[in-house]
Structure 1
Amino acid sequence: MNAVTSEQIKNHAVVVDQGSGVLVPAMTGQYAYVLTASHNVRVNRHDPKVLRAAGDIQVTMPDGTRLPVLAVFGSGVDDAALLLIAGVDIEPIAYASNSIQLDDRAWLAGYPHNRRGREEAQIRTFKCEITDIDRSDFCIETSSFANYGEVVGVSGGGVYKQVDQEWLLVGIEYSMEGREEESQNWLKCVSIAVFDQIIASNKYKDVALAPVLPPFLLNFLNLLDQTFPLDAFECRDTRRALRDTLQELARGKLTSDCPSPHSLMQKFGDRLLVHGNPRFRLADKKLWLSWLELLIVSLLVDKTKEVNDTYIDDLRKRRRLLYSGSTQEWTRFMEDIAHSNFDGLDPDGIVLISNNRDAPPSKTRSKIRIDKLVTDISRPSSPQLDIDAPRKPTTARTVVHLDGLHADCIVRREDDYVPTGEFDQTAAIDQLSETYRAAIAQ
């Protein structure tokens, strides 16, 4: 586990009374969640039906900061509890409810009691393998443990599986297999799917509980101040003026009729992703920043008055944004792009690519050449037709990387936007419109 990933896991790990827990976002501005083992918050450890009152449960960050608990919900069947936490702004965490297989490598992270007698509790991580899967439970085996004292307190800690250089939260540990005097190498865990069930069957203040998704998915405007970073600009004043111009355009046009990121996620699902990307990528912030930037560019080019569902459907016929969680150069996964779903895209429509990479790509545009990238596409892979399978384009497609498009149209043309006097927003919008229109038309 590299240093960055370890730090991310630590930021989400909390102490729940005598146990551990994982702090995750909820798609609401009212609260976040802590996922933990329910025996950590029971009145009687062996009675899963009676949980302590929210005010009697102490949740703390490793630095000792206490997190107020608003409500507590338990499974009643599995050793799993969901705590609603007030006043916390937590970064998203990769999360999946059905992504484990036997022999998968994993990590367990929690706060054993023998690391709590200091100013700050010290997290510990353990290498392990998934060794058994049964309904909502699975087991992990580790060679890291020596005795009971190294394990007690970890209960409620997160179990993470590695997927493409990222650690995916897949479960919560809740029990040791061995007796206290024995070596503790086998631990029982509950699947993340159980917490989805708790959320689906409960309410807070007569409102259904929010899904475990980042709050920015509620509204595109939540992301607006992070769009168009233009980091390579030399003139800070021009950079600020252009960003303000683009963002003000969005504030004026993205009204209440504009679909939310979450509604687009529900409507289009995997069709938003480059072929082969796992579904949890739909919650990546970079995907929705790219969608917002595409909407702003389209406002410039199309000069539309508002963005609504009808406009989105029309936009996807002409400009299809596909996202990959890959941090590589986008040309490295061109064949996956070619296998993506292009249903409904006009023959002369363009494909815009975004991926989880901060730097602009070395190459901005390319062509998907089917005869070059896809072998024998005329022969079906099986005798049965899979109507949900991605459709391969029948002709060459123009493919443009969105970050590269911004670099070509704004960053590398910085001098075109430097004002000789006072910055003129109207002139800047006209210049941006013509530049993007010409670039898209190539």
Structure 2
Amino acid sequence: MANPQDIIRKNTVVVDDGSGVILQPMTKEYSYVVTAKHVIQNDKDDVSKGFKSLENISIYTVSDSKLKPVDFIYHPVLDLAIIKIDYHHSNIQVFDGHLQRDDRIELWGFPNYNSEKHRNNSVSKDKWLECYVANVVKSTDELIESAPTENPEITGLQGFSGGGQWILKGNKAFLCTIEYKVTTPDSYVNRLCAISAKRISQLLQLNDWQIIKPVYFACFKELESEVFDSLEFQTENNRKKFINTLAMHSNNKAEPKEFSPLHLIQKTNGFVNTIMKDPNSLDNKRIWISVLEFLQTYEILSPQNSWDNEFIEYLSCRYKFLYLGNESWRKNINSIVLFDCEDLNEGGMLVLLQDKENRIFPDTPDYISKYVNPEKLLRNIADSMNDPQSIARANSNNLKGLKIIHMKMLHEFHIDDLEENLEPLTMLSDGDQIKKLLVDRYSEYIKHNE
């Protein structure tokens, strides 16, 4: 896995005399470069003099590749611009949280002073790139001020305009601001001034441009090649029988953009949700691979004409997905019991998704009633339910007879004995029999009782 600095380096670009960051909207037709507006103005100090033509905007990667600009938009007030370029994949995530005072962030960009190293076309642009560490001193939803830790000279920061400031969390880097100016009480810089990355989405929406999300957020079809890749069969042939049977019955139903991960987030009442505090946690690809696995499995039990709004309305009152990240489901049983399931029907199912695979799961599907039974109420749950709303929610979930499904175990319960029965069968002559095997094993586990 690439370290976060390598990812930052790969996606930081030279934009004329400034810097920029490559971002990926939900398409494979084009990408974006975000930068400071004044970098592409005819006069960086006077916006009234207009902007450079596309032919006069030069964008280069650290590997010296030239990127072709095809359009641009700019903020009417803030020093922020977004350039549309020919497709150049980026997996950068934009920080959606709120920066706190003293948060450590890193500014990456290309100094604009002449030397043997910087802005020297005989040297690879990878050698031009520099980084300064800073600490946040002031933060709003629009503007961020930070103090560099080493008081660089003003000449050292010229050329960084439009460069990204990043916050590192574990092995991930999140773009949190776009730098546009510095303050210099003398020859040294004491403040870096930047625009919150939240304003990128605002600018895109104002101009009806695609928002920044992984491409698979626009269409489940992008994930089809990765479904069930974590399942372990004794033979690859049996694995293919299993996967191909499910894929065949859901063929082309993952294509409509009206039924996409983004649609499920925006248009449903928490059909897929999380206990994680990180606002970017639902960007986790594994979540949506798991949802697609569930949908493909459900399709052989209850075939649909199409996956559309009517289907999602049907599903969302019968199932909810809850992402736990790396957290143990047992340690978070109170969050599970108290999860808002008001719109689930009686007998509905809460599907738990987890990153860690080395967990201990129940041998059979669970029921919320097991953890809310007044005679066996777990102490930690009882202590947490000290308000009427929590008590009412727990009682409601209990009375509905809600079922808990561990997505990790959805297939594990069935694969061992399934393989033995799959072995003598072929897709060509025994397709119906293979389907029946899967239906018999999954119907009791995930089929909702109407």
With the shorter chain as reference, the TM-score category is: 0.7 to 0.9
Note if 1:193 corresponds to 2:198: yes
Instruction: Give the TM-score normalised by structure 2.
Output: 0.83
Quote the RMSD (CA, aligned, Å): 3.2
CA distance in 1 between counterparts of 2:424 and 2:17 reads: 62
Q: Report the equivalent of 2:134.
A: 128
Conserved 8 A contact 1:97-1:191: no
CA distance in 1 between counterparts of 2:416 and 2:4 reads: 31
Conserved 8 A contact 1:39-1:79: yes
CA, structure 1 residues 425+145, in 2 after alignment: closer, same or farther (shift >3 Å)? farther
Conserved 8 A contact 2:233-2:239: yes
Conserved 8 A contact 2:220-2:255: no
Note if 1:242 corresponds to 2:248: no
CA distance in 1 between counterparts of 2:71 and 2:427 reads: 54
- Given the alignment, which residue of 356, 360, 363 partners 2:361? 363
Q: Which piece of structure 1 moves more, 70-79 or 393-402?
A: 393-402
Q: Report the equivalent of 2:22.
A: 23
- Given the alignment, which residue of 168, 174, 177 partners 1:171? 177
CA distance in 1 between counterparts of 2:8 and 2:418 reads: 40
Conserved 8 A contact 2:106-2:166: yes
Q: How many residues align?
A: 427
Q: Over alpha carbons, which structure has the higher Rg?
A: 2
Instruction: Give the TM-score normalised by structure 1.
Output: 0.84
Structural mapping, 1:263-274, within 5 Å = 263-268=263-268, 272-274=272-274
Which blocks of at least 5 consecutive residues in structure 2 are unaligned?
A: none
Conserved 8 A contact 1:360-1:403: no
Conserved 8 A contact 1:255-1:306: no
Structural mapping, 1:39-54, within 5 Å = 39-49=38-48, 50-54=50-54
CA distance in 1 between counterparts of 2:95 and 2:142 reads: 13
CA distance in 1 between counterparts of 2:33 and 2:348 reads: 44
Q: Report the equivalent of 2:300.
A: 300
- Given the alignment, which residue of 376, 398, 406 partners 1:401? 406
Note if 1:34 corresponds to 2:39: no
Output the amino acid matched with 1:288: W
Output the amino acid matched with 2:152: A
Conserved 8 A contact 1:361-1:401: no
CA distance in 2 between counterparts of 1:295 and 1:162 reads: 34
Which blocks of at least 5 consecutive residues in structure 1 are unaligned?
A: 203-207
Q: Report the equivalent of 2:165.
A: 159
Output the amino acid matched with 1:43: N
CA, structure 1 residues 165+330, in 2 after alignment: closer, same or farther (shift >3 Å)? farther
How far does residue 37 in structure 1 lie from its aligned partner after superposition? 1.2
CA distance in 1 between counterparts of 2:86 and 2:348 reads: 46
- Given the alignment, which residue of 415, 421, 425 partners 1:416? 421
Q: Report the equivalent of 1:102.
A: 101
Q: Which piece of structure 1 moves more, 127-136 or 2-11?
A: 2-11
Conserved 8 A contact 1:106-1:130: yes
Note if 1:142 corresponds to 2:148: yes
Conserved 8 A contact 1:257-1:307: no
Structural mapping, 1:214-225, within 5 Å = 214-225=214-225
Output the amino acid matched with 1:170: C
CA distance in 1 between counterparts of 2:426 and 2:301 reads: 26
Deviations 1:27-70 (A, max 9, x none): 23432211111122111111234221222212222111111111
Note if 1:68 corresponds to 2:64: no
How far does residue 209 in structure 1 lie from its aligned partner after superposition? 1.1
Q: Report the equivalent of 2:339.
A: 340
Q: Report the equivalent of 1:205.
A: none
CA distance in 1 between counterparts of 2:271 and 2:166 reads: 26
Deviations 1:122-172 (A, max 9, x none): 444433221113562110112145333443333222222345764332211
CA, structure 1 residues 294+139, in 2 after alignment: closer, same or farther (shift >3 Å)? same
How far does residue 74 in structure 1 lie from its aligned partner after superposition? 1.5
Conserved 8 A contact 1:274-1:336: no
CA, structure 1 residues 163+4, in 2 after alignment: closer, same or farther (shift >3 Å)? closer
CA, structure 1 residues 239+10, in 2 after alignment: closer, same or farther (shift >3 Å)? farther
Give 3-state SS (helix, strand or coil) of 1:51's partner: coil
CA distance in 1 between counterparts of 2:336 and 2:7 reads: 30
Conserved 8 A contact 2:134-2:147: yes
* Percent of paired sites with the same residue: 21
Output the amino acid matched with 1:112: P
